[in-house]
C-alpha cells in the first residue's frame, strides 16, 4: 500500500503544533532576556541559582551555642516581628550546665524533614514545604493541640485568642524576599547562621557536611533543619 | 510536672469513650450469648445499649469543646476527616460510625420496654427487632473495640515526645501498651456500669427474698472480671517497670505516679478501690455464688473510679521528653 498522503486534519494538527512550539520558544527567549536584565537575586532567595538542584532552596539555621550568652535578643526580635503578646515566644532559651560551665540552648521549631506534628495533624493544617520550612495553615487548624503534644521539642504554642496553634515560621516572607529571620538579624554575637544547605559553597552547607553542626536529639528521628554547634 | 496541652477535659472524654464502648460490648455480649433471654439480664442489655451511644456522643461533644478554632468555626471540623496518616482522623471516622450504631442499638433495646418507641416502629420492623439487634451488636462491637483501642492509640501515637505514653507492650515487642490497657479498662468500666451496678440494682427486685443476684452467670461474670483485673494489674506493672527502666522523662513520670505527688490517687484510687477491692469481691462472689447488692455497688463504682483515675494519672503524669 502506498503511503497515505497527509490528510487535511493531520496537516492542520502538525502546523498548529509547530506554531505553539515556536510561540513557547519565543516566550522562553524573551523571558530569558528579562531574567538577564533583572538584578541578580539574593543568594538566599529560593529563585537564586547555584544550589545543587538549580533553584529549589533548602534552608538551614545553625545555632552556635559557644557564642550564645543567653541575652534574649533573638526572643525580643521574634516577639516584635511576630506581634506576640508578653509571656509568649516561639524561642525558649534553656540554661544548661552548672554554675561554672553555664551555656545556653535556644530552642524553636526545628523545621523537621520528618515532622511528627504534620503526621499527627488531623486536618493537614501543618505541612512541610519543599524548602524544608514547616508551616501551619491557620485556616485549616481546628486547635486540637495534638501537634503541640506530639512535638518532641515542645516548640509549639497555643494562641488562645484565635484558637489555633502557633510557632516559628522562619520569618518566611523576609526570607523569600532575600532577607534573614528576625532572630538571626538580632543576634549581635553571630551565634545564629542562616543559609541554604543546598548551596555547596555556603557556610551552613560546610558546617553540616563537616559534621560540626548536629541536630538536637537525633534519636527522635525528626531530621531537623535547625542544627546546633555544641562543644 | 506533666504536659499541659491536654487536661481534665481530655481525661473525661477518653473515659466516656471507653465507658460507652465497654457498655456496648457488655450489652452485645449478653445479647449474642443468649443470656439475655435465658435469665432476666435484660436490664444489663438495656443499660449497656442505651448508654453507649449518648456516652460516646457526649465524649465527642467535650472533644469539640476542647478544640480552639474548631469550636468557634465548627465547619473546620470537616477537615479532620481528611488526613489518613493521622490517628485522630481514624478516630473521627470510628466515632462517626460508632455513635449512630450505638444510638440505633439503644432504640432497638428501648422498643422492648418503651411503648412510645414501640408505637413509632413500623409494623414490619417489630418481628425483626431481635435479628436487627443481633446484627447491630455484631457490627457495633467491631467499632466499640475500635473506639476503646483508639483512646489508647491517640495518646501513644505521640511517640518520643511523651515517653510514658509510648512504652512498648513488652521490651522486645514494638506494640504500644496503652491501647491494650485502655481496651481492658473500657471493658472493665462498661461491665461495672451495666452489669455490677444495673444488674444488681434491677435484679434485687426480681430476687426480693435474697436481695442478691444469684446464678451461674454471676459466677462466670465474676471469673471474667478476675481475669480482667489480673490483666490490668499485669499491664500497669509492665507500664511502670518499663518506664522506670527507660530512664529520663519516662522514669520521672513513673516516679511521680508511684511515690510522687500523684501517689495517693494511684495507690488509693486505682490499686485499692479499683483493683484490690473488686478482686476480693469477685472472689467472694465465685465462692458463694451470688452477688449481694452492696458488694455489686462497691465493685461497680470501684472499677469505674479506677478507670477514670488511671486515665487521669497517665495524662497528667505524661512528662515531655524534652523540656
ipTM confidence:
0.88
Residue B322 lies in a domain: no
The distance of A77 to chain B (nearest Cα, Å) reads 23
| 8 Å CB contact of A116 and B79 | no
pLDDT reported for residue A17: 55
The whole-angstrom separation of Cα B202 and Cα B213 is 9
Partners of residue B77 in chain A, C-beta under 8 Å: 142
Partners of residue A151 in chain B, C-beta under 8 Å: 161
Q: What is the mean pLDDT of chain B?
A: 90
Residue B323 lies in a domain: no
- For a pLDDT cut of 90, what percent of chain B falls above it? 67
3-state secondary structure (DSSP) of residue A94: strand
In whole angstroms, what separates CA B215 from the centre of its chain? 25
The distance of B237 to chain A (nearest Cα, Å) reads 25
Mean of pLDDT values over B39-52: 86
Q: Helices B8-33 and B177-191: crossing angle, nearest 10°?
A: 60
Is the predicted pLDDT of residue B149 greater than 60, yes or no? Answer: yes
Partners of residue A163 in chain B, C-beta under 8 Å: 67-72
- For a pLDDT cut of 70, what percent of chain B falls above it? 95
Cell 484510687, residue?
B269
Per-residue pLDDT tens for B231-273?
Answer: 999 999 999 999 999 988 999 999 999 999 999 999 999 999 9
B3 contacts chain A (CB < 8 A) = yes
B157 contacts chain A (CB < 8 A) = yes
The distance of A50 to chain B (nearest Cα, Å) reads 35
pLDDT reported for residue A149: 93
Which chain B residue has its CA at the smallest distance from A139's CA?
B76
Residue B260 lies in a domain: yes
pLDDT reported for residue B207: 54
The whole-angstrom separation of Cα A86 and Cα A24 is 54
Number of domains in chain B: 1
pLDDT reported for residue B174: 84
Q: Residues with Cβ < 8 Å from A55, sequence gap 6 or more?
A: A46, A47, A48, A49
Which position has the higher pLDDT, A170 or B112?
A170
Closest Cβ opposite residue B5 in set A107, A148, A162: A148
pLDDT reported for residue B214: 57
CB B257 within 8 A of CB B317: yes
Instruction: DSSP letter for B159, please.
Output: G
Q: Helices B8-33 and B87-113: crossing angle, nearest 10°?
A: 50
Closest Cβ opposite residue B86 in set A122, A165, A216: A122
Closest Cβ opposite residue B92 in set A120, A122, A216: A122
A88 contacts chain B (CB < 8 A) = no
What order do you get walking across the sheet with A59-64 strand by strand?
A192-196, A59-64, A226-229
| 8 Å CB contact of B68 and A145 | yes
pLDDT beneath 70: ranges in chain A: 1-55
B244 contacts chain A (CB < 8 A) = no
Residue B321 lies in a domain: no
Is the predicted pLDDT of residue B310 greater than 60, yes or no? Answer: yes
- B-proximal residues of A, 145-184, CB under 8 Å: 145-146, 148-154, 158-160, 162-165
CB A90 within 8 A of CB A167: yes
CB B30 within 8 A of CB B36: yes
Mean of pLDDT values over B43-70: 92
Residue B1 lies in a domain: no
Which chain B residue has its CA at the smallest distance from A157's CA?
B5
B72 contacts chain A (CB < 8 A) = yes
Q: Where are the alpha helices (DSSP H) in B216-271?
A: 216-246, 248-259, 263-264
pLDDT reported for residue A49: 43
**Of A112, A121, A123, A164, which to mutate for an interface test with B (greatest number of B Cβ within 10 Å)?**
A123
pLDDT reported for residue A37: 41
Closest Cβ opposite residue B85 in set A119, A141, A152: A119
Q: Residues with Cβ < 8 Å from A204, sequence gap 6 or more?
A: A60, A61, A62, A193, A194, A195, A196, A197, A213
pLDDT reported for residue A34: 42
pLDDT reported for residue A41: 46
- In degrees, rounded to 5, the angle at the alpha carbon of residue B84 between the alpha carbons of residues B79 and B89 is 55
Residue B2 lies in a domain: no
The whole-angstrom separation of Cα B196 and Cα B165 is 30
Neighbours of A103 (CB within 10 A): 16
Residue B166's domain spans which residues? 8-316
Per-residue pLDDT tens for B280-309?
Answer: 999 998 888 777 888 889 999 999 999 999
CATH of the domain at B186: 1.20.1630.10
Partners of residue A138 in chain B, C-beta under 8 Å: 69
Half-sphere exposure of B74 (CA within 13 A, CB side): 4
Q: Residues with Cβ < 8 Å from A49, sequence gap 6 or more?
A: A55
| 8 Å CB contact of A124 and B88 | no
pLDDT reported for residue B6: 85
pLDDT reported for residue A52: 39
Is the predicted pLDDT of residue B155 greater than 90, yes or no? Answer: yes
Amino acid at each position: 500500500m502506498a503511503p497515505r498522503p497527509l490528510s487535511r486534519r493531520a496537516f492542520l494538527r502538525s502546523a498548529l503544533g509547530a506554531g505553539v512550539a515556536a510561540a513557547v520558544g519565543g516566550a522562553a527567549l524573551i523571558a530569558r532576556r528579562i531574567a538577564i536584565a533583572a538584578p541578580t537575586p539574593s543568594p538566599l532567595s529560593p529563585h537564586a541559582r547555584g544550589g545543587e538542584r538549580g533553584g529549589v532552596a533548602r534552608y538551614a539555621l545553625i545555632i552556635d551555642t559557644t557564642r550564645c550568652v543567653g541575652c534574649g535578643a533573638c526572643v525580643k526580635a521574634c516577639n516584635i516581628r511576630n506581634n506576640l503578646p508578653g509571656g509568649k515566644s516561639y524561642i525558649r532559651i534553656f540554661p544548661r550546665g552548672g554554675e561554672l560551665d553555664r551555656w545556653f540552648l535556644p530552642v524553636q521549631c526545628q523545621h523537621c524533614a520528618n515532622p511528627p506534628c504534620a503526621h499527627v495533624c488531623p486536618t493537614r493544617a501543618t505541612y512541610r514545604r519543599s524548602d524544608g520550612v514547616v508551616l501551619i495553615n491557620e485556616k485549616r487548624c481546628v486547635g486540637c493541640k495534638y501537634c503541640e503534644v506530639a512535638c518532641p521539642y515542645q516548640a509549639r504554642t497555643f494562641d488562645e485568642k484565635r484558637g489555633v496553634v502557633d510557632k516559628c515560621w522562619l520569618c518566611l516572607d523576609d526570607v523569600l524576599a532575600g532577607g534573614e529571620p528576625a532572630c538571626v538579624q538580632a543576634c549581635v554575637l553571630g551565634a545564629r547562621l542562616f543559609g541554604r544547605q543546598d548551596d555547596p559553597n555556603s557556610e551552613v552547607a560546610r558546617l553540616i557536611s563537616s559534621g560540626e553542626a548536629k541536630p538536637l536529639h537525633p534519636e527522635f528521628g525528626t531530621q531537623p533543619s535547625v542544627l546546633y554547634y555544641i562543644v | 510536672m506533666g504536659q499541659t496541652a491536654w487536661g481534665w477535659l481530655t481525661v473525661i472524654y477518653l473515659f466516656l469513650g471507653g465507658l460507652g464502648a465497654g457498655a456496648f460490648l457488655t450489652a452485645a455480649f449478653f445479647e449474642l450469648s443468649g443470656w439475655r433471654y435465658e435469665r432476666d439480664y435484660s436490664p444489663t442489655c438495656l443499660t449497656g445499649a442505651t448508654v453507649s451511644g449518648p456516652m460516646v456522643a457526649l465524649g465527642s461533644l467535650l472533644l469539640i469543646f476542647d478544640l480552639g478554632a474548631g469550636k468557634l468555626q465548627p465547619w473546620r471540623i470537616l477537615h479532620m476527616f481528611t488526613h489518613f496518616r493521622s490517628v485522630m482522623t481514624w478516630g473521627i471516622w470510628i466515632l462517626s460510625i460508632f455513635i449512630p450504631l450505638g444510638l440505633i442499638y439503644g432504640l432497638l433495646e428501648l422498643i422492648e420496654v418503651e411503648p412510645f418507641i414501640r408505637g413509632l416502629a413500623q409494623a414490619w420492623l417489630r418481628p425483626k427487632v431481635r435479628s436487627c439487634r443481633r446484627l447491630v451488636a455484631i457490627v457495633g462491637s467491631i467499632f466499640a473495640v475500635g473506639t476503646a483501642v483508639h483512646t489508647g492509640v491517640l495518646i501513644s501515637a505521640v511517640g518520643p515526645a511523651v515517653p510514658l505514653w509510648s512504652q512498648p507492650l513488652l521490651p522486645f515487642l514494638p506494640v504500644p501498651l496503652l491501647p491494650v490497657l485502655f481496651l481492658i479498662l473500657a471493658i472493665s468500666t462498661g461491665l461495672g456500669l451495666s452489669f455490677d451496678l444495673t444488674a444488681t440494682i434491677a435484679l434485687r427486685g426480681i430476687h426480693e427474698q435474697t436481695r442478691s443476684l444469684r446464678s451461674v452467670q454471676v459466677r462466670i461474670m465474676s471469673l471474667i472480671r478476675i481475669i480482667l483485673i489480673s490483666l490490668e494489674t499485669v499491664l500497669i506493672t509492665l507500664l511502670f517497670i518499663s518506664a522506670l527502666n527507660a530512664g529520663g522523662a519516662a522514669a520521672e513520670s513513673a516516679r511521680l505516679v508511684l511515690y510522687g505527688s500523684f501517689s495517693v490517687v494511684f495507690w488509693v484510687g486505682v490499686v485499692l478501690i479499683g483493683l484490690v477491692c473488686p478482686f476480693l469481691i469477685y472472689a467472694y462472689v465465685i465462692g458463694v455464688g451470688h452477688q449481694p447488692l452492696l458488694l455489686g455497688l462497691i465493685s461497680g463504682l470501684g472499677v469505674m473510679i479506677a478507670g477514670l483515675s488511671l486515665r487521669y494519672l497517665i495524662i497528667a503524669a505524661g512528662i515531655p521528653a524534652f523540656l
